[in-house]
Chains A and B, each alone.
Chain A
Amino acid sequence: MTIAGDKSLLVDVINEKDSDAGVTVDRVLLKDGEVAVGAVAFDDATSDPLIDADAAVDRTEDSVAHKDHVHPKHHAKYPDSEAVTAVTGVVKLDDLAAPDDNTDLDFSTTKHGLTSKGTNVGDFLKDDGSWATPAGGSGAVTREGGDTTEATTTSTSSTDMLDATSLTIAAIEPIMAHVISRKTTGAADDTNWGIDLNATVIFANVRLDEASNEIQHTFQNTMIPARVSNYLRAGYDTWRHIVSSAGTSRGESHNVVAPANDYPTVEITNLTVTGSVDNALITLGLDELHVYSVAAS
């Protein structure tokens, strides 16, 4: 039976005539609920594909498998929130590659970020992202730097041991100097110390500890007053505490003593701590010199 091309056939069911032969429509066999296909043609022209299927010239361009794995752009974009959810609690920050050695991500006064690279000179980080020495008042000097150790001597005559230079302490500003000391065993003798301001000896060869053959530690705190005309022999104030290595107090003192010379009335640029031992068999150690000026206004 032939139906003219401009006619249509309306039917609900087409059944095979011969048993197990199926029904063939223009060489496409429909049989037992399955379709036997020789080749399948696809329309590859998606609206805006991420990947042009035809560009993958691997002989699978037209295969079902290939088409099934092409992800056209019209799929929903993977949003940031989903990316965050995907890595949160799974990927550790320290497992990621290190960022470049630059300042791209450094924090500033306008944005969050990473800490800028350190200076390795003992600076402190400021809130504008820079590293600086704490102000601490005019002329303050603090010990800065990495590895450090004590100044030591076996000199039996006075020698320069610790020198704080490049100070800018005005004459009207009182000065406070802290230093700690120790002596070793070796002889029943003591050690001595002194302080110079610029090149002026304020005191020298003042006993630091007790003349016994044992390890002793001391803490010295010295306050030097403002250095103004007509008051240039005003006493400096010292506190001292001596302790044995076992922790037993060997004495403490608090004295106000006139300086050995008139105080210099110019800006103080150097504070030098001198030291000596009464017997070369013992060693004097001085450490942690801190010089502070006290603001006068």
Chain B
Amino acid sequence: MLYIFAGFPGKGAGPGTQHLHAGGLQHAIETVEELAILEHDPVIQHRKEGVFANETGELLRQIEYRLSDSLLKDGITWDWFTEGWRFGNGVTVQKSMASPAFSTVVHGSDLTLDQFLALHGPTRLADLELFRKHNRTESWESYESRWLPGTCPQENHEVSLTVIVTDYRLPEFAYERIRDLIERRAEPKYLDQYSAEQGKHFHTIRRYGK
């Protein structure tokens, strides 16, 4: 069974704080809090179209999935995932980055400053009004169409997801506890059962570029 949650443990927390990464989350779910048994068979690969045998590409069964309500609120449904999307197995914290393209154009002309000067010759800059125009490329429109109408952010952004593949359907209490850990910044229990090795179970939130 495939579960997809919004964000990752610690998303939005301050720089320097430590939170569970995929390996830490797996340790919490399977070992520390015993919430579920995860799928680890290297043959099993969950994809958008079903559950496949990893090496042969044979379709083994239809996929069962559950998307967190938080994703739906953000405008992300099953249709957001493109054809052939691989969810694998175990636990994965996944990131997608999107960057709309903008250009500075002369108001009323759709020309860049260079194009305008090429057409009109020397021009006083004080006589021009420039504005930032979103270049709605086919690529961007294709990306935007994956979102529910009106929900796609119109600036550089990053979509973070946590994907968990289990052997069986989770009982509701286990699902909610895992969702608490991922989306609601719940503290993991029994911290003494996690490794003290740096980066083994936790990642550190940092600022971009640091």
Contact = CB atoms under 8 A, between A and B. Distances in A.
Nearest to A196: B84
A163 B94 CA distance: 8
Interface stretch (A3-11, A80-88, A274-282): A274-282
Nearest to A123: B156
A147 B90 CA distance: 25
Contact of A159 (B40, B86, B96, B156): B86
A145 B157 contact: yes
A149 B94 CA distance: 10
A133 B22 contact: no
A166 B125 CA distance: 33
B88 A144 contact: no
A130 B93 CA distance: 34
A133 B99 contact: yes
Contact of B100 (A148, A155, A166): A166
Interface in B58-101: 82-101
A5 B199 CA distance: 114
Given A148-B208, A165-B97, A168-B139, A283 B89 contact: no
Interface in A143-162: 143-162
A215 B199 contact: yes
Contacts of B15: 147
A166 B208 contact: no
B88 A283 contact: no
Interface stretch (B6-14, B171-179, B181-189): B6-14
A119 interface: yes
A132 B203 contact: no
B120 interface: no
Contacts of A165: 96-98, 139, 143
A15 B10 CA distance: 101
A167 B94 contact: no
A35 B13 CA distance: 82
B22 to A, nearest CB: 4
A154 B22 CA distance: 6
Given A157-B45, A158-B45, A166-B100, A150 B21 contact: yes
Say which size band chain B's interface belongs to. 35 or more
B140 A154 contact: no
Interface residues of A, number: 57
B7 to A, nearest CB: 10
B54 A121 contact: no
Contacts of B200: 184-186, 283
Nearest to B210: A148
A182 interface: yes
A160 B85 contact: yes
Contacts of B139: 165-168, 267, 269
A276 B84 CA distance: 16
A155 B90 contact: yes
B98 A159 contact: no
Contacts of B83: 199
Interface string A184-217: 1110000000000001000000000000000100
A157 B44 contact: yes
A164 interface: yes
B123 interface: no
A270 interface: yes
A192 to B, nearest CB: 11
Interface in B152-210: 155-158, 163, 165, 197-200, 203-208
11 contacts: A144-B156, A144-B157, A148-B158, A155-B91, A156-B42, A157-B54, A159-B88, A165-B96, A165-B97, A199-B83, A215-B198
Interface of A: 109-110, 119, 121-123, 126, 128, 130, 132-133, 141-168, 182, 184-186, 199, 215, 267, 269-270, 274, 276-278, 280, 282-283, 285, 289
The 4 closest A-B pairs by CB, nearest first: A159-B88, A283-B23, A155-B88, A144-B156
